Each structure stands twice: as C-alpha cells, then as structure tokens.
Amino acid sequence: MVEKLFIQGNEACALGAIKAGCRFFAGYPITPSTEVAENLARLLPKYGGSFVQMEDEISSMGAVIGASWGGSKAMTATSGPGISLMQENLGYAFMTETPLVIVNVQRGSPSTGQPTMASQSDMMQVRWGSHGDYEPIALSPSSVQEYFDFTIKAFNLSEKYRVPVFLMTEESIGHMREKISIPKSVDLVARKEPTMSPDEFLPFKNRKNATNPMPAFGDGYKVHVSGLTHNEIGYPDTNNPKTHAVLVKRLCNKILKNREKITSVKSEFTDDADVVVVCYGAPVRSVTTAVKEAREEGIKAGYLKINTPWPFPDDDVKAVCESAKDIIVPEMNLGQMVHEVERVFAGDAEVHLLSKIGGELPKPSEVLNAIKSVGGN
Amino acid sequence: MRKEIRIAGFGGQGVILAGIIIGKAASLFDNINAVQTQSYGPEARGGASKCDVVISDEEIDYPKVENPDILVAMSHEALIKYMVDLKQGATLIIDPDMVQEDDIKDFIKERDLTVYHAKATATTVNEIHLKIVANIVMVGAITKATGIVSEEAARKSILDSVPKGTENKNIDAFEAGMRIVEA
C-alpha cells in the first residue's frame, strides 16, 4: 500500500532517511534545515536509532563519521554556515571513504546571511570546500516527492561508492508542503562487508574504479582509519609519492569513472529547441512553467533538469543541448553551476546566466523574458 | 484551473494551519493538486503572517502565490499589506471585527472584489468558547464561500490535522464558519 501524505519537504527528507535505513543523526539546529532534525529526533528512537544534538557542526560531522564506521547509516542536516564548520571533517570523510549523507537546505549567504530565505549559493562550497582533490556526489530535488526519493538515493549512492553524498536543496523546497507517495518498500543498497579472513583483508586496496568492502568497528577486522595518506592496509605512508598518487586518483576515479551510473537528468521539449534552459533544484519549478508558455507562443524552447549537480553530467548536458543556439542557466546565486555548463560547451553555444539573489525563486515571467531576449523570437 | 489563495493575519492566529488544512483537503481528499508555502522568521511571530496555497487540477509547477484569487484577511495590517496583490475580480474574505472595511471601499470597487464577511474571532469566543479555533472557523467560511475544497474533504482534513481530543471543538468551529459567512 502506498501511503499518501501532505507534508513539508524537510519532513519528507526525514521519512526518506528512515526508509533508507538511516539509524543515526547528529546535528546542530539551523534554519532552514531544522525540521529534518526535529522529525528525526522523534522518529529515530522508534526505529531503534539514535539522535544526538551536538554542541556544533564540527562535532556533528565527527559523530556522523564515527557512527558510519560503527556500522550505521548516518546523516546530518544543516545549512551553509554549518557546512563551513563541517569542511575539515568532511575532508577526513572523503579521505577515509566514509559513507554518510549531508543535507544542505541552502539559505542566503555569505556568512549567516538570510536564515529564512532561499538560495543556491553553496553549490561550489560542497564541490571544493574542503582542501584537496576529491569528488563528491550531490543531488538536487525540485519537489517534496523528489526530496523524499533523493534522500533514499543519497544513502544508496553513499553506500555504493563509500563517499559523502550531499542533498542540496533550498529553503523553498525544504519548507514547502506538497502531496507525496510513500512506497511500502524501496530498493536499498546494503553496505558491502568483507568476506575474507581478517588476516587477508586490505581495507584500502587499490581496486580499479571500484569500492572496497567496509567492516564495522567490532567486526574483528583491524582497520586504521587515517586522514594521512595511507597504504592499502591503512597505515600512514606520507612520504611516498606513488602511494599518494594511487590513493587520491582512486578516490576520484571511483566517482568519475562511474559518472554515467551516478548522474541523472530529465529533459522536455529539447529535440528541436533553439533555447534550452539548464536548471536544477527549486528554480526548475519556474522553468517548466516558462518553457510551456514559450512553446504556446511558438518559441522553440526546452529545458534540461539536472538531478545530480555533482559529478556534473557532462555527456547528458552535451547531448540534450546539441541543437541549441542559446543556453540559459537560472541560478539563485551570482553564477556557480553556469561555469560547468560553459566548460561543457566551450564555444559551441552561447551560455547565459539568469541570476537572482535575495531569497526568492525566479518568477516564470523572468525566465520567459530571458528566453525571449536571447533569440527565441 | 490554477487558483491562488492567501490566508493572512497576525502571528498566533493559526493562519498557517488554516492553509495547511485547505491544501491537505485539496490534495489528499479532493484528489487534485496543492502546494502550500508560508512566511518564516520574525514576521511570523506577531507581525503580519501569511500562508499561501496553490490549488489546481493540473500539475503545479511554480509553487508560489503571486496574485491571489482569494485573500482571507484576519487582521487589518495583513489586509493592507496583501490586498494590493489581488487579481481583478478576486474574492476577499474578512473578519469584520478585525479589519476596517470602510478604509478600503474604493479599492474594493476598483478591483471589482467580491467580499465575504465571517466574524470568526467573535464566533469562537461566543459560541465555541475557545478563541484558538478562529482559524478553523475561517476554514469553514472559505469552504462555504468559495467551494475551493469540498465540505467533506475539509472535514477529513481538519480531523487529520488537529490535536487528538480537540476534534469536536474544531468541527464545531468549522460548521460555525460555514454558517456565519455572508456576502
């Protein structure tokens, strides 16, 4: 039986986490993400899980990493200022290949900015925020249903690739209420555990584009979990150039070489489109209205919705926008993902940023005007 | 057909819950689509607070209310702040004890508004003896005056949304709202 509910985005995220098997949450409340924590504080104990309100976001990320190595599917939820504090431990999570999910309900930034207003200004923060080379996965929902579905997907991807996964939403979707369907059962990715004897097990083995099995603390396997450059056993080996190159390339390639399996997009009206709007997250809602109106006026416009900003879906964007002369990228920031679109097109099409900051969604009329002004007429 | 509804008042009157109930009635019990959004932050704690609902039999893309077809004003401040957004020929529902309708007579004429009156606050004090259900009285008034949701859906939505043990008082409030609303 499918259960239907009329609920807020952040509440849907909490339900999705429970459905995905998340049994640990540590965090520090921050608008506009607090309802995720609030709902999980109520739900987790009922499912045998744990909820901890920490003293700040630094310790929150530490606790989530620890819970994951303890064998739990673990998550936290925050907003831009919280992600800033989490960056050091996030780097440790990438280096130690710790599966976990971080929800970022984005608000106006920089600094404490606009707590109750929406933005998309952390898209590069989660891509490059911690020092070093690494490849994150990020998902961007555009509806309350997708926020639920993508939460489950985030856990699955994080377990499959042993990597932190960001759920990048905005205040608009976090606080919006819509109808969602909760399926009775969902497909889950179980953490791959080692099957060989503890003596033979290499926890950080150099596997080509694949993820190593991960034992939980207490399973009997000896695992040294270090943020230092480590060898296949997990021991620091920091002066060996080869060890470092092999390790960091493996961390990146397990994502990049599986890009097609990870990324997902949705497009409409793009086959003959002169203008394609490339969008993600909440602004998709304005874009779909605008593109339909443009079509009614005889303008050949289409849109491409990116579900996974990271890794960026290069090939999909290229394929869908092939016929387009102009590409519009609406963002609730001063231009972040637009650089990725420009990189992919490198001169083949005109890429225009439609930027709006201040906390409000772009209006459909603003997107429609942009479509008209770039040559849709 | 897309309809935009804004319910506004001051923080604490329960306008948010009223909007959630309307949205839930439409989407779960009338089986059409609804999206609800609301004001957050300091303005929701005493100042003018608003709750927006978009209802449509088609998929709802843009989730925000720009020009309401229906404005429900439970305070004068909220009325003045939000009436300018109303569509030409829209519906305005007011609590006459909470707003000065005389102040906006010209505006009502200019914008060709259909005005309904529901003494929600007085009714809750005098009839239900529980002031906090004024929002549910308004849900009754909205349902009766606009038909935006069915009576049955509104009832089910109220029962699904209010705290256990308060169902009877809230249904009384809903019925009072249906009864007292007048042009």
Under 8 Å between Cβ of A306 and A277: no
Q: Which residues of B touch A (CB under 8 A)?
A: 20, 23-24, 27-28, 33-38, 40-41, 60-64, 66
Distance of alpha carbon B49 from alpha carbon B16, whole angstroms: 8
Find the domain containing B89 and state its range: 3-115+147-162
Out of A4, A175, A286, name the one closest to residue B62 (CB): A286
pLDDT value of residue A275: 96
pLDDT of A31 over the 80 cut: yes
Residues in chain B with pLDDT < 70? 40-46
Q: Which of A177, A277, A363 best tests the B interface by mutation, with the highest count of B CBs <10 A?
A: A177
What CATH number has the domain bearing residue B43? 3.40.920.10
pLDDT value of residue A321: 82
**A177 to chain B: which residues are within 8 Å by CB?**
20, 23-24, 35-37
pLDDT of A217 over the 60 cut: yes
Asked if residue B40 belongs to a domain, the reply is yes
Out of B37, B61, B62, name the one closest to residue A175 (CB): B37
Q: What is the mean pLDDT of residues A156-181?
A: 98
Q: Which amino acid is at B135?
A: N
pLDDT value of residue A376: 47
| Chain-chain contact of A176 with B37 (C-beta, under 8 angstroms) | yes
pLDDT value of residue A52: 98
Cis check: omega of the bond before A283, within 30 degrees of 0: no
| Chain-chain contact of B41 with A292 (C-beta, under 8 angstroms) | no
pLDDT digits (tens, 9 = 90+) for B126-177: 888 887 889 999 999 999 999 999 999 999 999 999 999 999 999 999 999 9
Q: Which of B38, B54, B62 best tests the A interface by mutation, with the highest count of A CBs <10 A?
A: B62
Asked if residue B121 belongs to a domain, the reply is no
Under 8 Å between Cβ of A165 and A101: yes
pLDDT of A323 over the 90 cut: no
Asked if residue B169 belongs to a domain, the reply is no
Q: What is the mean pLDDT of residues A90-99?
A: 98
pLDDT bucket at A377, cuts 50 / 70 / 90: very low
The DSSP-derived string for A80-103 is HHHHHHHHHHHHHHHHTT--EEEE
The dihedral over CA atoms of A71, A75, A81, A83, expressed in degrees to the nearest 10, equals 50
- Full set of structural domains in chain A with CATH: 3-182 (3.40.50.970), 266-376 (3.40.50.920)
Cβ pairs A/B, distance under 8 A: 59
pLDDT digits (tens, 9 = 90+) for A118-160: 999 999 999 999 999 999 999 999 999 999 999 999 999 999 9
Q: Which amino acid is at A267?
A: S
Contacts of residue A28, Cβ cutoff 8 Å, sequence gap at least 6: A53, A54, A55, A56, A57, A60, A78, A82
Strand order across the beta sheet in which A275-279 lies: A265-268, A301-306, A275-279, A326-331, A350-355
Q: Which residues of A touch B (CB under 8 A)?
A: 4-6, 31-32, 115-116, 171-172, 175-179, 285-286, 288-289, 292, 360-361, 363-364
Q: What is the mean pLDDT of chain A?
A: 96
Asked if residue B134 belongs to a domain, the reply is no
- Domains contained in chain B, number: 1
Residue B125 Cα, gap to closest chain A Cα (Å): 30
pLDDT value of residue B46: 63
pLDDT bucket at A231, cuts 50 / 70 / 90: very high
